[in-house]
Chain A
Amino acid sequence: MNRLILKKITAFVLIWGMMVSLAGCGSRKHKSYTTLRVGVITYTQNDAFINALTDCLKTELKSMETAHMKIIVSIRSADDDQEDQDEVAAEMIDAGCDILCVNLVDRTAPSKIIRNARDNDIPVIFFNREPVMDDLMQWDKLYYVGCDAKQSGEMQGEIAADYINEHPEVDRNRDGKIQYILLEGEAGHQDAISRTDSSVKTLISKDITLEKLSYQFADWNRGQAENRMTQLISQYGNSIEMVISNNDEMALGAVEAYKKAGYPEEEWPVIFGIDGLKDALEAVEAGTMQGTVYNDKEDQAREMAKLAVDIFKETDIESHDLSLGRYYVSPYQKVDESSVEKFLKPRQ
């Protein structure tokens, strides 16, 4: 009798268990598509170029969605703090992420992100701020997409030299020297050093005699550059003949400072930037800036998106033609008054 009851109870428990598990299976519909989850972490939310680049990246990735592959792009920033960036990367990996795209705060400190990604087998595409080569070679699923900072400096120097040679009136005091101000990104930042160094060297190599009045660090930021420039204008008045800036944001800060100082435009120095931001292109067209160097964000975003999708699909990435199997270096382009129009048109 007891055995019979025991059998009945066992059968009931088994049937109930099967029903519960079947109900569970039913509630999770089988998806007809895969999802590629791309986590993007920028060094700050306040860099106009990086924001434009991540917008392009999102657009590119979304255009690659198919009926069989949904793409979720999540963009977060690190508030200029490497520890914050490490934490955000860990959170993204924990929440489920297939590819990480990281714009490092500190290019010399990617090790925590790399370790965490490698432990979870998440490929990482670093962009815009190049990690040290030893770090990038730590694991075969690390990549870099960006530009050669030295090339941008050289091009900036070339545009400035050509302009000065064609417009001798830049040397307002006719002393044969160009008195200039340098607006630099960050102290010790590789790109800032490289851009400054190659720009000045190129100018000198083109027989332009330079006299540095001052240099200021403005953290790649328009507002900070405007403040620094306002101080310099009050200190040097109209003896400043040229402003060389490590990026367009700071160059536009200089433009703003001159506008607010009330100088007539003919008394402004010549101003050169790097990045090819929309505002800077418009400034070149309007003649308040004399040149910039186009950092091809569309090309970089396209490459990052293609790379992310190919890595996810496990397609051969040979066609990407990466240098050392890791590096994609997008070429810069010079922008001055004669060429600005083609850059102002929407680019594909």
Chain B
Amino acid sequence: MKKSKITIIVAELILLALAVFFVRKIFEEDVPQKRVAVIVERSGDKRWDALFQGLKHSADLNNLHLIICNTDDIKNADDEKTLIYEQLDNNVDAFIICPAPGSNTLQMLQELNNEVPFVLITEDVYIAGEGKDSGNDAEYTASGFPVIKPDNYQMGYKLGEELVKNNGGALDGKKIGIYAGREKTEATVSQVKGVIDALSGTGCEIIWEYYYLENQNVCSLVDNSQRVDYICAMDTDVLDILGEEAVDGKYDGAEIYGIGSSMKSVTLLDYGQIRCLVVPDGYDIGYESIMELAKKLDNSFYSLESHEADAKVIYREDIFSDDVERFLYSYE
């Protein structure tokens, strides 16, 4: 009698466990995908192609619904905030954000941090007081937010280093023009600092230093400036514009060294219009940012981590080497 009672209880427990298992399975399949919104300025730009490939691939693997926001120029924290809050109304669970220029972005993101998880990509937040005018020689202060980005300082430094190396270690009497990306961004501040550090003490003179503005006529600005021997174009748009207008590998007599992340930049390098290119691993940035968020969305106690993406120095003659071809695969 006692034995049969135990058997019944055990059988009931097994049935209950099975029922729980199947019910859970059924509901697991019905769980809606978590939604991740991506906010980068001018989302249609070709410079994001590799990044978007990485994002899409990783989102597929992690069963996340990816929303690439329709954007044009994001000039400041307010522009970015509008986009973010529109997507919050669109029931987004997490964000991937390229921080807007300016010092107000930090506070805006601190507010967002209390609401929803996010990771920053390609660069950290600009912090007021950093940059060339601050007299601050230390490396950039991190915001503390999770960031997936290349070492922007090192990218600038490598570019300068290559320029010095190609001139036998000295640039005596050579004139340099620096055309950087948007002002008041971490990437620009770090890259410019990197290139200037690499060039210091080599005998060259930095003749001009410009920052890219929306609708700026890049060519006319350079044409109306003092002629230089080398241009360091540290922004994809600027690099592609100058590279396209270069004749026999030179723009107005200047060789172009650049940082770029579009297929066009690579093509211009291949055509000999650009002398040397530093390329960040956009695919990796996209892939890793989704991986981080997937962990967070799966387990709310997970603490989001920063990752450093790779960047490569490429010359025309290296484009078809196995190593570089593998690296550039996602750019096609």
Contacts and interface: CB of A to CB of B under 8 A. Distances in A.
29 contacts: A27-B115, A28-B88, A28-B89, A31-B82, A35-B82, A35-B86, A58-B72, A70-B82, A72-B71, A74-B42, A74-B44, A74-B71, A74-B72, A75-B42, A75-B44, A75-B72, A76-B43, A76-B44, A77-B44, A91-B67, A91-B68, A95-B37, A95-B68, A95-B69, A96-B69, A96-B70, A96-B86, A96-B87, A96-B90
Contacts of B37: 95
Interface string B82-119: 10011111100000000000000000000100010000
B70 A37 contact: yes
A31 to B, nearest CB: 8
A12 B89 CA distance: 28
A73 interface: yes
A158 B4 CA distance: 103
Given A27-B115, A35-B82, A95 B44 contact: no
Contacts of B85: 28-29
B46 interface: yes
Interface string A27-70: 11101000101011000010000000000001000000000001
Contact of A94 (B67, B86, B89): B67
A246 to B, nearest CB: 24
B53 to A, nearest CB: 12
B137 to A, nearest CB: 39
Contact of B70 (A28, A70, A77, A95): A95
A92 interface: yes
B91 to A, nearest CB: 12
Contacts of A97: 70
Interface of A: 27-29, 31, 35, 37, 39-40, 45, 58, 70, 72-77, 91-92, 94-97
B268 to A, nearest CB: 13
A72 B86 CA distance: 13
Nearest to A59: B215
Given A35-B82, A72-B71, 10 more contacts: A31-B82, A39-B70, A40-B44, A58-B72, A73-B72, A74-B44, A76-B43, A95-B37, A95-B67, A96-B87
A27 B67 CA distance: 22
B258 to A, nearest CB: 19
Contacts of B89: 28
A65 B69 CA distance: 20
Contacts of A73: 72
Count chain A CB atoms within 10 A of each CB in B43, B46, B111 and give the residue with the most.
B43
Contacts of A77: 44, 46
B95 to A, nearest CB: 13
A66 to B, nearest CB: 16
A58 B37 CA distance: 24
Contacts of B71: 72, 74
A76 B42 CA distance: 9
A251 B42 CA distance: 32
Contacts of B87: 96
A141 B135 CA distance: 58
B89 to A, nearest CB: 7
Contacts of A35: 82, 86
Nearest to A71: B72
